[in-house]
Amino acid sequence: NVGDNVGDCAGMAADIFESYEVTIVAAMILGLASFGHKGVIFPLLVRGIGVVGSIISTYTVKAGPNDTSDTALKSVHRGFWIGSVISITGFMVLGFFYLRFDAAYLQGNPVALPGFPNGNPAELPVWANLGVAGLDMRPALTCLIGVILAIMLNKITSYYTHTKFTPVQELAKSCQTGHATNIISGFALGYESTVMTLMIIVGAMMLAVVTYMGTPPMFVAYGVAMAGIGMLTLTGNTISMDVFGPVADNANGIGEMGYDKEQMEKDDPGSYKRARQILADLDAVGNTTKAETKGIAIGSAVIAAFSLFSSFIATIAVGGEDKIHLMTEAMYHKEAGLITVADPVVLVGLLIGGAVPFLFSSMLIRAVGRAAFYIVKECRQQFRDKEILAGTKKPEYGRVVDICTVTAQKELIGPGLMAVVVPVAVGFGLGPYALGGFLAGTILAGQLLAVFMANAGGAWDNAKKLIEDGVYGGKGSEAHKAAITGDTVGDPLKDTAGPAINPLIKVMNMVSLLVLGPALAYNMAAPRAPVEWARWVGVVVFLVSVGSIVWAVLQSKREAPGLEPEAEPAGTPPVAGASS
């Protein structure tokens, strides 16, 4: 229960908050380089509208007098839809009155001129200016694209993880033939969902690109960033959907452990079964809402990373973010053209970037196994206490929580260090263009891997819930045992490694931007600093970074102390169910 609150409430909230801040920072940087100060202020105003929309729509999510657990997901989605309508209406009205670019504004902000045909807003197509002189609704339209992207990600994730749709039903069916077929079917489901999710993200990004077709790259990048802002206007709804999951899960756990079946049946025959079924249904809905939230979080991470990648190229072109307003289209195209896989160094960076999410995931999943060992060891030790088994002594619940907390913090050091030092090693060792390839590889591989793990894990969990509802033999059947195996495999994927890839992508992008200036000046490949010892600075930083990476990997592979088989005390009976 504590873990649900930490992982699915606080953890996901921090992840989406990071996406929001990264996207809005990128949008403000790109807005300054494209539309001037209006390009900076507009994302902030859109964000404010999203907050208001989320507050209003959250209060519309409630159970009616005739609602059942079957309609819970519809109620949650209704709030999401209402929030979408409020947000779309709000930033369309805002855009109509705020996005006016008259001659006086363009004279004071000449960077905006290349964004209009022949430098004249009046020549924009009717869909962009609505026939109003000086109006440019393109930033608002790209926000609309972002909201549609969030809705589509919700739908596709729900399709692959909810019990009422074919993928999870087929996954539950595969449990009839054993553990292996369940795992194989879950992998197939996860891989397929990855492709469909990627196509939706690609479609949204292409719509944002087409909206600014014919303009310099910075305007196109600003459009994609605003799509990310639009997608995240519904952050309040997204977080509330995510929190629904652990609330329902914890309520189900309390009902399972705390309901007095005999007393409930005595007071109201059949009430125990009804109450347990309602809680189980809400738990299944919570699994879906958690998966939907992860889908939005992953999509937002990709949009944020793309926006930062454009800022990265612009920074290379002008030598620093403080000079980004001086960049020309020719400068951007020149530097972007150098980040090509035809350059072996860039290709090496691309391959390293694609490998990092896999190494990162392996470290996290291994850490889960190590923490689980400590917890199982502690539980077995307490089970051997005859007073606890007799009910005359309370178990030490806090001890297990302490183990989880301490282990989680210790195990975070290695993966956290990886996210910071790998971009530093690539930037100083191979140069800024290889670092650009590295970021591209990380964004692609990270997005695919994160979606696969989140959706496969959510589907395995709900396949188990479906069987527990009575299909294919119900609880205790061979199909149920196979489903438990799938759920056990899926939990570290959907709750640990999958969500962690989102901040990995964003942190590595941010670190790359931060070290780009020093890497340009002091990298080993082609330092720009006008001093003889510049290359040696790059060598030292590179070696220190590589040493840190090696240490982090070795730390993740170390064996937990006490992994040797324990000697059971003589005469101690085996603990029933300890292996589960």
Q: What is the pLDDT of residues 17-62, one digit of tens each?
A: 887 788 888 888 888 888 888 999 999 999 999 989 888 988 888 7
Give the pLDDT band of residue 356 (cuts 50, 70, 90).
very high
> If you average pLDDT over residues 492-497, what whole number do you get?
86
CA R_g for the chain: 27
As a whole-number percent, the residues of the chain with pLDDT over 90 amount to 28
- pLDDT at position 274 is 79
Mean pLDDT of 69-78: 77
Which residue shows structure tokens 């971009």? 423
pLDDT(251) > 50: yes
Greater confidence (231 vs 284) lies with: 231
Q: How many CB atoms lie within 10 A of CB 14?
A: 11
pLDDT surpassing 60 at residue 144? yes
Answer whether residue 433 shows pLDDT above 80: yes
pLDDT grade, residue 425 (50/70/90)?
A: very high
Query: Is a pLDDT exceeding 70 seen at residue 561?
Result: no
User: Using one digit for the tens of pLDDT, what is the confidence trace for 286-319?
Assistant: 777 877 787 788 888 788 788 778 778 877 877 6
pLDDT computed for residue 2 by the predictor = 63
Higher-confidence position of 68 and 557: 557
- pLDDT category, 68, cuts 50, 70, 90? low
CA distance 223 to 336: 18
Q: In 3D, which of 197, 237, 187 has the Cα closest to residue 13? A: 237
Residue 474 confidence (pLDDT): 84
Calpha distance 157→238 (Å, rounded) = 13
The pLDDT confidence band at residue 321, using thresholds 50, 70 and 90, is: low
| Separation of alpha carbons 44 and 40, rounded Å | 7
Does the pLDDT of residue 577 top 50, yes or no?
no
Q: Are 508 and 419 in contact (CB under 8 A)?
A: yes
Report d(CA 214, CA 356) in Å as an integer: 35
pLDDT number for residue 574: 46
- 412/394 Cα distance (integer angstroms): 31
What are the extents of the domains in the chain? Answer: 2-99+137-557
SS3 of 56-118: HHHCCCCCCCCCCHHHHHHHHHHHHHHHHHHHHHHHHHHHHHHCECCHHHHHHCHHHHHHCHH
Give the mean model confidence (pLDDT) for residues 352-377.
88
Q: What is the mean pLDDT of residues 413-433?
A: 91
Question: Averaged over 443-449, what is the pLDDT?
Answer: 92
> What is the spatial distance between Cα 389 and Cα 208, in angstroms, rounded to a whole number?
62
Q: Phi and psi dihedrals of 525, rounded to 5?
A: -75, -55
pLDDT at 562 over 50: no
- Helix-, strand-, coil-residue percentages of the chain, each rounded to 5: 80, 0, 15
For residue 445, what pLDDT is reported? 93
Measured CA to CA, the distance from residue 447 to residue 439 in angstroms comes to 12
Beta bridge partners of 135: 100
Can you give 303-360 as a three-state secondary structure string?
HHHHHHHHHHHHHHHHCCHHHHHHCCHHHHHHHHHHCCCCCHHHHHHHHHHHHHHHHH
Q: What percent of the chain has pLDDT over 70?
A: 92
Please, which pLDDT band fits residue 332 given cuts at 50, 70 and 90?
A: confident
C-alpha span between 209 and 222 (Å, rounded): 9
Looking at residue 121, what DSSP letter applies? G
Q: pLDDT band for position 394 (50/70/90)?
A: confident
Asked whether 285 and 244 are in contact (CB, 8 A), the reply is yes
Neighbour count for residue 489 (Cβ, 10 Å): 18
Q: Which burial class, exposed, middle or buried, applies to 384 when counting CB atoms under 10 A from its CB (0-12, 13-18, 19+)?
A: middle
> Under a CB-based contact definition with an 8 Å cutoff, are residues 508 and 549 in contact?
no
CA angle (33 as vertex; 29, 323 as ends), nearest 5: 85
DSSP bridge partners of 100: 135
3 pLDDT higher than 70: no
Report the mean per-residue pLDDT for the chain: 84
323 confidence band (pLDDT: 50, 70, 90)? low
Residue 195 pLDDT class (50, 70, 90 cuts): very high
